[in-house]
Amino acid sequence: MNNYDAIIIGAGFAGAVTARKLAENGQQVLLLEQRGHIGGNAYDRLDDAGVLIHEYGPHIFHTNSKPVYDFLSRFTEWRDYEHRVVAKIGDMEMPVPFNLTSLYLAFGEEKGRRLEEMLENIYGSDRKITILDLRQNPEPEIREVAEYVYEHVFKYYTMKQWGLKPEEIDPSVTARVPVFLSRDDRYFQDRYQGIPKEGYTVLFEKMLNHPNITVRLNTAAKDVLQFDELHSTITVDGEPFEGSVVYTGALDELFDCRFGQLPYRSLKFEFETYPQEWYQSHGTVNYTVDQDYTRITEFKYFSGQKLPSTTIVKEYPKAYNGAPDIPYYAIINPKNRRLYDRYLAVSKHFQQLHLIGRLAEYQYYNMDAIVEKALALSEELQK
């Protein structure tokens, strides 16, 4: 065990990218993953109907970073896919983020045209503004647009997502709700967008296929590593380990949740297969004014598969009560940050320990941001 230069915990993007880069640097890497598969939350697989589903929720790759795109492109080709989302409001399907097309749907042709002109005169075109900008406008009709977006697109969705009452919604979050003064109805405007042609799991298989990488599935960090705070040492099966340890799991769990559990929001996914080619009009439909689920995603839009049946997933946000719930979204506020910082202070006992990833850093990151961070960390850990 001690022939390894680095031990990495977690085979999601954070761990797998770091493993690959260190392996290419000539280091012997052991990658531990507690689940029975690689890929972290980006893991995908074929279901019984042959549809490539994303087990932990829909993942669409998008980035403006050429280094990130180039790095991942070594392990996959891409299927061009630009994500479009609509909010289902009664019989209407309204593009989100709210844009000029949405404006006409919400206010009708005549008023829509007047509002478009007013908005363009005040803010210019092709710009992203926030509902705070609109709310601060002296013109009542402009403020009405802000109220519409808040009530029909944002409020109920956010209440479901975070389990909040309306008065508990953070005003600073509300202020940032975007309105796009454009007819570009793509969900992301990034330069590179797509889905790995053979799926994320195949991308990970290729990335981890290196003679210097050993992957051990169904193995939690604590099965192998012991953290001795008194002596600031990490031991592997009782023997001191001096290499780098890269941890991408939840930080509170590493230290036995001794100060209490870090709060997260979890999700329940309900997959349904239908004997018809398509289920809905877009890859994702958000339910912003009714239903208990927040959104429905239809996977064939991502994979481009031609099959007689189709699989969708409904997302139900829920409280996180520890395993078997999966911690999906860190609930970031000053109180929770202070709790996280207490765990961070304990981690500082171990100089060789590096924390990276959405769990270890108690942060939300898109995939590209994590790949970028992992590439930077690998540079730091080069021999």
- Give the residue, chosen from 96, 367, 377, 381, that forms a contact with ligand FAD under the rule CB under 6 A: 367
- Give the residue, chosen from 143, 365, 375, 376, that forms a contact with ligand FAD under the rule CB under 6 A: 365
Question: Minimum distance between the CB of residue 226 and ligand FAD, rounded to whole angstroms?
Answer: 13
- Give the residue, chosen from 27, 201, 248, 378, that forms a contact with ligand FAD under the rule CB under 6 A: 248
Contact track, ligand FAD, 253-292, x by CB under 6 A: x---------------------------------------
Please name the amino acid found at residue 297.
T
- Give the residue, chosen from 20, 35, 155, 282, that forms a contact with ligand FAD under the rule CB under 6 A: 35
| CB 234 within 8 Å of CB 350 | yes
Looking at beta carbons only, is 148 or 287 nearer to ligand FAD?
287
- Give the residue, chosen from 4, 10, 133, 303, that forms a contact with ligand FAD under the rule CB under 6 A: 10
Binding of ligand FAD at residue 370 (CB under 6 A)? Answer: yes
Question: Minimum distance between the CB of residue 273 and ligand FAD, rounded to whole angstroms?
Answer: 20
Binding of ligand FAD at residue 234 (CB under 6 A)? Answer: no
Q: How far apart are CA 45 and CA 212, in angstroms?
A: 26
* 40 secondary structure, DSSP code: G
Question: Minimum distance between the CB of residue 83 and ligand FAD, rounded to whole angstroms?
Answer: 8
Q: Which stretch binds ligand FAD (CB under 6 A): 38-46, 107-115, 316-324, 339-347?
A: 38-46
| Beta strands 244-247; 353-355: pairing state | parallel
| Beta strands 127-130; 178-181: pairing state | antiparallel
Q: From 200, 202, 210, 206, select the one nearest 29 (Cα to Cα).
A: 210
| CB 20 within 8 Å of CB 213 | yes
Question: Minimum distance between the CB of residue 85 and ligand FAD, rounded to whole angstroms?
Answer: 11
Binding of ligand FAD at residue 354 (CB under 6 A)? Answer: no
Binding of ligand FAD at residue 59 (CB under 6 A)? Answer: yes
Q: Which stretch binds ligand FAD (CB under 6 A): 19-27, 28-36, 155-163, 291-299?
A: 28-36
Cα distances (Å, whole numbers) of residue 275 to 49, 251, 307, 309: 9, 43, 10, 4
Question: Minimum distance between the CB of residue 55 and ligand FAD, rounded to whole angstroms?
Answer: 11
| CB 19 within 8 Å of CB 375 | no
- Give the residue, chosen from 57, 128, 235, 342, that forms a contact with ligand FAD under the rule CB under 6 A: 57
| Beta strands 329-330; 310-319: pairing state | unpaired
Question: Minimum distance between the CB of residue 383 and ligand FAD, rounded to whole angstroms?
Answer: 23
- Give the residue, chosen from 22, 51, 60, 142, that forms a contact with ligand FAD under the rule CB under 6 A: 60
| CB 277 within 8 Å of CB 308 | yes
Question: Minimum distance between the CB of residue 101 and ligand FAD, rounded to whole angstroms?
Answer: 22
Torsion of CA 292, 295, 298, 303, to 10 degrees: -140
User: In the numeric block, which tokens belong to residue 203?
Assistant: 């991308």
CA angle 6, 9, 15 (to 5 degrees): 85
| CB 45 within 8 Å of CB 52 | yes
Strand order in 233-236's β-sheet?
225-228, 233-236, 239-241
Binding of ligand FAD at residue 195 (CB under 6 A)? Answer: no
Bridge partners (DSSP) of residue 251 are: none
Binding of ligand FAD at residue 99 (CB under 6 A)? Answer: no
Bridge partners (DSSP) of residue 108 are: none
Binding footprint of ligand FAD on the chain (CB under 6 A)? 9-15, 32-35, 40-42, 57-60, 220-221, 248-249, 253, 328, 357-359, 365-368, 370
